Structure 1
Amino acid sequence: MPTTDAYGQGVQIAALTDAPNAATLAFNLADALTPRSVMRFASASARAATLTSPVEGMVTWLQDVNALEVYDGTAWRGVFYGATTSWSNYSPVWTATTTNPALGNGTLQGTYLKVGALCHVSIKLIIGSTTNRGAGAYRLSLPVPTANAACPGVLDASFSRSGSPNHGTGNSPLFANLTSTDDIWFPNITVPGDYDVWTDSVPWTLTSGAVIQIYGTYQTA
């Protein structure tokens, strides 16, 4: 009967007394070694369809997002690799709680870098002359959902415009399982120490050329 390898990995090795069977020999080796190698999948959904019962220690490469991940017995976790890695572009979505804005000839760009369970993100919005600013509290979508945690992080915010004053800073506390920011807060320009939620008129009216940036690091799902 077959024996197992000397490294305790469960790889079956045919014994000389076993009946010759090339197919069984090949399958025993392939089925044992493949789950212990870096398995490649087109996406996380393709991986889930194939590895319906992943085993702790399995390692995979996701081709659509260029991510190396290991299964820890509960979930797939990102693995940081290499001395440096590149930021990726994404297209943020700008929404509002009452009426969604329309970007028009404005500019909205996003970049992010995901390292393990952390995501570094930078978003830049420039208001254009044909931008329809909508109504209500503004939100900007995130590249990766936030973790199921009480406070996955707090992003910084800045608002620049022509005129005086011309610059203000704020922040955006994040909450569990979000795909976008929640309220983004800026100082009230008339009430020292008070903060208001970012809208078309807070901290200043969104005129053409105004620049809003959101940046920081948060825990991911």
Structure 2
Amino acid sequence: MTYPIIAAGSRLPPAKLNPPPWSSYGPGWSATTTNPSIGNGSVAGRWRYLDPSVVEIAVVIRPGTTTSFGSGTYRLNLPVDAVAGGPDPLIQGVGLFGGALYRFVGWANTSSTPASFVTLYRDNSTSENLTAWSPTAPVTFAAGHSVSFNGTYRVAW
């Protein structure tokens, strides 16, 4: 992948502003105790390099009637490992559960090692702390619900 070098005072034509194309990926959806199984639901993802060291991702999880939700804190696999030494990857998400919206974040501690996944958390309504997202919190995850995540992070080389 090559990127244009722009000299001071030059103009960048609109064609050069187009972002790179998206690539599909099958994001792994897992949990710390027992992994969920999507069954007749769907987990879809796409990703792209924004520059040689930054990746953008978008993921949607839509459980179906035969989805098994597993147990423990949920995780999402990244298409490319996040770099050690930060900044830590932070993926933002929103979920629609039975007509109510919930905000989620995916985060990984990359202070000393690269990360291949982000752990998923939700806002805690009673404090400023984040709480781990599990099959029953903030509400029971079920068929007909939907969660979308989007974000960027620095990649490991």
Candidates 195, 198, 202, aligned match of 2:137: 202
| 1:100 aligned counterpart, secondary structure | coil
**Which residue of structure 2 aligns with residue 175 of structure 1?**
109
Alignment pair present for 1:156 and 2:129:
no
Alignment partners' CA distance in 2, 1:141 and 1:113: 15
Alignment partners' CA distance in 2, 1:194 and 1:174: 16
Unaligned runs of 5+ in 2: 5-14
Alignment partners' CA distance in 2, 1:192 and 1:153: 23
Q: Deviations over 1:26-84 (max 9, x none)?
A: xxxxxxxxxxxxxxxxxxxxxxxxxxxxxxxxxxxxxxxxxx3xxxxxxxxxx436723
What RMSD, in angstroms, separates the aligned Cα atoms of the two structures?
1.7
**TM-score of the aligned structures, taking structure 1 as reference length:** 0.59
Q: Deviations over 1:142-198 (max 9, x none)?
A: 1110012233331112111224xx10112222332111112x221234x25443111
Candidates 44, 52, 56, aligned match of 1:120: 56
Candidates 22, 42, 66, aligned match of 1:107: 42
Distance 1:179 1:167, change over 3 A: same
Larger Rg: 1
Alignment pair present for 1:146 and 2:90:
no
Question: Contact 1:151 / 1:173 at 8 angstroms: preserved in 2?
Answer: no
Deviation at 1:138, TM superposition (A): 0.6
| 1:180 aligned counterpart, secondary structure | strand
Mean Cα displacement is larger for which, 97-106 or 173-182?
Answer: 173-182
Alignment partners' CA distance in 2, 1:217 and 1:109: 17
Distance 1:80 1:202, change over 3 A: farther
Q: Percent identity?
A: 26
Deviation at 1:205, TM superposition (A): 0.6
Amino acid of the structure 2 residue aligned with 1:209: G
Question: Contact 2:86 / 2:154 at 8 angstroms: preserved in 1?
Answer: no
Deviation at 1:98, TM superposition (A): 0.4
Alignment partners' CA distance in 2, 1:87 and 1:203: 31
Matched length: 140
Alignment partners' CA distance in 2, 1:137 and 1:173: 12
Amino acid of the structure 1 residue aligned with 2:117: S
Greater share of residues in helix: 1
Deviation at 1:113, TM superposition (A): 1.0
Question: Contact 1:146 / 1:175 at 8 angstroms: preserved in 2?
Answer: no
